Homo-oligomer: A and B are copies of this chain.
Amino acid sequence: MSTAQGARARARTEITAAIKDEARRQLAAEGAAKLSLRAVARALGMVSSALYRYFPSRDELLTALIVDAYDSLGAAAETAEKQVHDAGPLHRWTTVCEAVRAWAMTHPHEYALLYGTPVPGYTAPQTTVQAASRVGLLLIAIARDAHRDGTLSAPALPADLHPEATRMAADLAPDLPPEAVAALVAAWAQLFGLIGFEVFGQFHGVVEHREPFFRQAALRLAQGVGLAC
């Protein structure tokens, strides 16, 4: 009985993975907007109605792909950071930035799914939020360690931003000064601006040697947040 259920559960896991793999392949070929349960089924030798036993709708499949991609990106960033965890905050920061960039370059279509044009008619459920915040939390953690060590020199803020910065800090990192949190959020967005331009081809004919260019930009992002060393 338990072996039968175990085999069944194993088969279900395998088929679910196969469906997602094929869907990712189609994502690369046609884009997220044209992701079609039917085509996925055909490629797997299944019939479209059979897929609904694994994913109740196209949107649920999309959500699964998005969560997987966020987790893949988050894991890549966290693994890279772990290996330099004992270094200074600046080195940890640039390591995370470069890991995010490397993941984006090797997974351009999944990157587009996360940070590109939203899929028309699809709105991400709350389920995705946790996976989506892993990179941000990692950057916050680095700033937090710097703050504990007294090496975080948060930049000044204009008065009209203070209420919003305080609110963001309360939500994201109550132990950090509001100025640092506001700077962190801005740096977070700017990091993905650099990466997006590279992945989506905006640097074509403009920036040639993109690795050192990115490294330097990531370094200056860290300085903008107030990290040193």
Q: Which residues of A contact B (CB under 8 A)?
A: 29-34, 112, 115-120, 129, 155, 157-158, 160-161, 163-164, 167-168, 171-172, 182-183, 185-186, 189-194, 196-197, 200-203, 205-209, 212-213, 216-217, 220-221, 224
Contacts and interface: CB of A to CB of B under 8 A. Distances in A.
A127 B51 CA distance: 44
B182 A34 contact: no
Given A112-B117, A168-B207, A216-B182, A189 B161 contact: no
Contacts of A157: 216
Contacts of A216: 157-158, 161, 182, 186
Given A167-B208, A207-B164, A182 B213 contact: yes
B161 A212 contact: yes
Given A116-B116, A161-B213, 16 more contacts: A29-B120, A31-B117, A32-B117, A115-B196, A117-B117, A118-B200, A129-B205, A158-B216, A163-B209, A171-B206, A182-B213, A189-B194, A192-B197, A193-B193, A193-B197, A220-B224
Given A164-B213, A185-B207, A206-B168, A200 B158 contact: no
A186 B220 contact: yes
Q: Could you say which of A157, A190, A197 has the most chain B C-beta atoms within 10 Å of its C-beta? A: A190
Nearest to A194: B189
Given A117-B112, A155-B220, A212-B161, A192 B196 contact: yes
A200 to B, nearest CB: 6
Contact of A192 (B32, B191, B193, B217): B193
